[in-house]
Amino acid sequence: MKPKSIKSLLALALLAPGVLFAQTTAKTTPVGYVNLALGGSSSVLANTDSYVSLPLNNTNVFSGGVASVSGSSITLAGTPALGTLSDAANPHLCVIASGAREGLTALITANTAGGITISVPAGDDLTGVTAGDQIIINEAWTVKEIFGATVVPSATQLLAFSGTAGGVNLAPDLIFEWDGTNWIDTGSFDIADNVVLYPSECLIIRNSAGTDIPAITMAGTVPTYKHRSILDQVSATQDIGFAHTAAVGEVIGTSGLSSVCALGDQLLVFDNSVAGQNKSATQIIEYDGAAWIDTNSFDDVTATFTINSGVGYVLRRTGTTTVLSDTPNYIPSL
């Protein structure tokens, strides 16, 4: 991960355990740090799975306005003079930062000096994106880059869910393993260092060594737009790797989940401070149609349970594929 220079005149707040963000002026994108071993642990424990997510963006390389949209191509306003953004060794993501598709995040597959072509996520589209909407372009997080300078032992794995398998109690079907030099896709045996990772994904760091991995600290820019994710419903009841794209925790009752969940839907919570691999959920929060209930205590936790920043979850949901859109609670104060 490239080093980040943070010169802060104003520390806004230490808003959650392991999270700090700051900004230089009112017009500067806030920057910060997130500990990816949040959720009750200060490290990735030995012989343990740790559920994490990517709540911050990598380096911001451009922000500006949309001039026009044609299919999956976006022409940018002004004369941005973009460099190469579609190099597989240095991939970039585009975020629609305002308007009808605010929060939509997509890989840039080609670009010119004044425009980009993106791979729109399945289940979403650019309908309603118009001239004047804001665009942010970031370097993408990749399998290798999220670990930064943290030294991990050989055979450490990063597990993820493709979202294409139907059912519940799903095993991760994307597995990347560190061989001491590169990350390897265990399905294809290809080098996977530059495989792109997306916000709102649940990722699992599997430490198979007998010693802890030090907490992995991510430095990046704070999202200043809505969280937006596609909840793929492959089967009638579906487990979905889930994370809330925000720099600080969000109470479940204001996370937007109530608007896309039905009676009996659940959020499965995994405690990163509990040792073990292939762990069962330590807490299950269930929607009763009006409130979120802790199935252990039967308490209403709608206003008290926090979906933590930098942590991954599993959402067990019924219904059809839909879009979750939510404004993180810190945005109005930025």
Residue 80 confidence (pLDDT):
94
How many CB atoms are closer than 10 A to CB 269? 19
Q: What is the dihedral of CA 312, 314, 320, 322, to 10 degrees?
A: -10
How many CB atoms are closer than 10 A to CB 9? 9
What is the three-class DSSP state of 147? Answer: helix
Distance (Å, rounded) from C-alpha 328 to C-alpha 322?
19
Cβ pair 224, 247 in contact under 8 A? no
Q: Is the dihedral of CA 126, 265, 275, 165 positive or negative?
A: negative
Burial classification of residue 209, based on how many CB atoms lie within 10 Å of its CB (0-12 exposed, 13-18 middle, 19 or more buried): middle
Give the contacts of 330 (CB within 8 A, at least 6 positions apart).
15, 246, 247, 248
Residue 278 confidence (pLDDT):
95
Per-residue pLDDT of the chain (334 residues; tens, 9 = 90+): 333 332 232 233 333 344 444 443 334 678 877 777 655 567 899 999 999 999 899 999 999 999 999 999 999 999 999 999 999 999 999 999 999 999 999 999 999 999 999 999 988 999 999 999 999 999 999 999 988 888 899 999 999 999 999 999 999 999 999 999 999 999 999 999 999 999 899 999 999 999 999 878 888 899 999 999 999 999 999 999 999 988 889 999 999 999 999 999 999 999 998 999 999 999 999 999 999 999 999 999 999 999 998 899 999 999 999 999 999 988 876 6
Strands 213-214 and 306-307: unpaired
Residue 39 confidence (pLDDT):
54
Distance (Å, rounded) from C-alpha 251 to C-alpha 201?
18
Residue 214 confidence (pLDDT):
84
Distance (Å, rounded) from C-alpha 86 to C-alpha 157?
26
Residue 170 confidence (pLDDT):
95
Give the contacts of 175 (CB within 8 A, at least 6 positions apart).
157, 158, 159, 185, 186, 187
Tens of pLDDT, residue by residue over 94-147, are: 999 999 999 999 999 999 999 999 999 988 999 999 999 999 999 999 999 988
Residue 3 confidence (pLDDT):
30
Of 251, 246, 240, which Cα lies nearest the Cα of 224? 246
